[in-house]
Amino acid sequence: MTHVPKKVVRTRGIKSCQLWDHSGYVLGKDIEDPERAKRLHKHFVGRCQLIADETKDSGAEAVAKFISNFQEQNISQHPLCEELFKAEAISFRLKSDDVLVFERPSVHQWLSDNPLSSKTETGQCLVCGEWGNIERILPTIKGIRGCNPIGVRLTAINNIRTGNSCLGAYGLTQGYCAPTCEQCSYKYGNALNHLLRPDSQNKIHIGRFTLVFWCPQGQQLEILIRKAILGGKDTQQVKDKNGKILLKPNPTGFHWVPEPSSNVVQHLQQQCRNGYVNVVVFRGKDRRAAIEFYQRIPQTELVHNLCHWLSCTAVSDRELTPLRVFLAFLSQNKDLEHLRSSVLLSLLRAMFSKKPVSFSIIKQLTDYTGRRIKLSLLHEKLISYMSSLLPEGYKSSKAFLCGELIALLVKCQEEANGEATTIRCDTATVTSPARRLASYLKKNRHHLNLIGKQSFGRRVNLEKKIQRAVSEIGVFPELLDPDEQLILLSGYYCQRQALFPIRKEKKQC
């Protein structure tokens, strides 16, 4: 990264930067508008000559002399001609120096004392709190999914000229609705554009949202956070140890190279240091962008929470957890306009801040999975994570016992009919068990009779488990709060796992 002097904000006006700019200003070459390029170059020559006269620096004087006689040079024969015409920033360096001309001490001091100003009103900056020149035109941010490719501004106001202004009566126009000084707007604009660049490892697109995170203390933690969310490294091609390409580039998306959760947890524990990690979620639409979520998390707390998340949602004998597969699926699909911010933010809070996920959010995940994700495994791991956040002794509560009873009734129905049809753990059953369990127990008599015709011992075994669960519950609860709903789901999935144990294959010698 090379830090250049402040870029001047311009629309169609002619304003050059100081000792650097694009080819239109520096070279005076523009295929689309040659006449305008000549005027741009003339303004750039005048700016360079002004800096040379003020600083009396040999480097600045050499640039002014070189750029004044630039038309005598035949740039078309230069070997880097095409790259120069496409470059967004062209600057100068003396052959005898190791730094650019604007980094020479005397030139740097003059540029710091005389920054380019848009000559706007003076006010108090809402970022740093200092009084100074307020930026009239805010910086353009590029790389947010759903926004215009030319970029958007994070804060804006309705057009005064069309009469469609809600804050015009207060005298707030253009960038004055969110007063930011020139230095702060320049800093946050360049920082966000760097984090949102196409090859950035600090951003993840999830549905219509763009997740950005950065850690000033080290880049290794940023890579691990990306792996914890996506389940591995996203790349356009995969190579083996010998350099042979295993997967060819896919123009429609990225390939996810999976990595076991245990490896990610081990590497995360090594990054437990002092410092902070910043997380921002943008939501873009056309020419608008909004910040949906921002949090500054201590590095030690984030590492602990991510390790807890990965350990609770890991699947035995598998490299990817279901939720990481789900988030990777969302990041590949741009057409998920119906993805609600509450769903995504609940998952991020659970990962980063160890916050519970409500039952309504868990049910909403069914709208985004389709046929590509195994829904039962996804819900099971979410409930496993939620169970780890519940207080001790929750397994003896009525909600947990109701979940076990529902799992037993569903099991009887599956063995009798071959599949679950009427008895199921749906939203109405979870929120108000008393309204459904009475009818479910009546239907269970028919299911037990069908099971008894096939195996009388199996019927007696299931009937004893159901009677024991009913006697322990006593009076069925009428309504359950969000925490009790999660406890019920935890009991349901715990009982389902007990009813379907994993059989280990015996190895033959």
Q: Identify whether 504 is part of a domain.
A: no
Q: What are the residues whose beta carbons fall under 8 Å from the beta carbon of 157, sequence distance 6 or more?
A: 165, 167, 172, 173, 174, 176, 177
> Radius of gyration (Cα) for the chain, nearest Å?
31
Q: What is the pLDDT of residues 357-392, one digit of tens each?
A: 777 777 776 655 544 444 556 666 777 777 777 777
Residue predicted with more confidence, 3 or 280: 280
Q: What pLDDT is attached to residue 280? A: 92
Q: Identify whether 433 is part of a domain.
A: yes
pLDDT at 167 over 50: no
469-477 CB contacts, 8 Å cutoff, 24+ apart: 469/401, 469/404, 469/405, 469/408, 470/405, 470/441, 472/401, 473/398, 473/401, 473/402, 473/405, 474/398, 475/434, 476/398, 476/402, 476/433, 476/434, 476/437, 476/438, 477/398, 477/399, 477/402, 477/433, 477/434
Please tell me the least confidently modeled range out of 32-36, 275-279, 480-484. Answer: 32-36
**Do 253 and 371 sit in the same domain of this protein?**
yes
Give the pLDDT band (50/70/90) at residue 163.
very low
Q: Identify whether 11 is part of a domain.
A: no
**Do 385 and 412 sit in the same domain of this protein?**
no
d(CA 76, CA 29): 10
Specify the 3-state DSSP secondary structure of 365.
Answer: coil
- Pull the structure tokens for residue 471: 């006697």
Diameter over CA atoms, the chain: 104
Of 167, 195, 223, which residue sits at a domain end?
195
d(CA 334, CA 195): 20
pLDDT at 13 over 60: yes
Q: What is the pLDDT of residues 291-343, one digit of tens each?
A: 888 889 888 888 888 888 887 776 654 544 545 555 555 555 544 555 677 77
Helix (H) or strand (E) holding 131: strand 131-133
d(CA 423, CA 104): 78
Mean pLDDT throughout 263-283?
A: 84
Give the pLDDT band (50/70/90) at residue 505.
very low
**Do 319 and 229 sit in the same domain of this protein?**
yes
Pairing verdict, β 276-285 and 131-133: unpaired
Of 164, 195, 226, which residue sits at a domain end?
195
**Do 221 and 367 sit in the same domain of this protein?**
yes
Q: What pLDDT is attached to residue 252? A: 45
Mean pLDDT throughout 221-228?
A: 82
Mean pLDDT throughout 463-470?
A: 89
**Do 174 and 75 sit in the same domain of this protein?**
no
pTM: 0.66
Q: Identify whether 105 is part of a domain.
A: yes
**What range defines the domain where residue 262 resides?**
203-389
**Do 213 and 67 sit in the same domain of this protein?**
no
**Do 275 and 355 sit in the same domain of this protein?**
yes
Q: What pLDDT is attached to residue 376? A: 57
Residue predicted with more confidence, 48 or 250: 48
Mean pLDDT throughout 223-247?
A: 64
**Do 161 and 218 sit in the same domain of this protein?**
no
Q: Identify whether 16 is part of a domain.
A: no
Pick from 352, 388, 346: nearest CA to 368: 346
Of 195, 222, 237, which residue sits at a domain end?
195
Per the structure, the count of domains in the chain is 4
**Do 293 and 245 sit in the same domain of this protein?**
yes
**Do 240 and 262 sit in the same domain of this protein?**
yes
**Do 410 and 374 sit in the same domain of this protein?**
no
- Please state, rounded to an integer, the average pLDDT across all residues of the chain: 77
**Alpha helices for 196-239 (secondary structure H):** 219-230
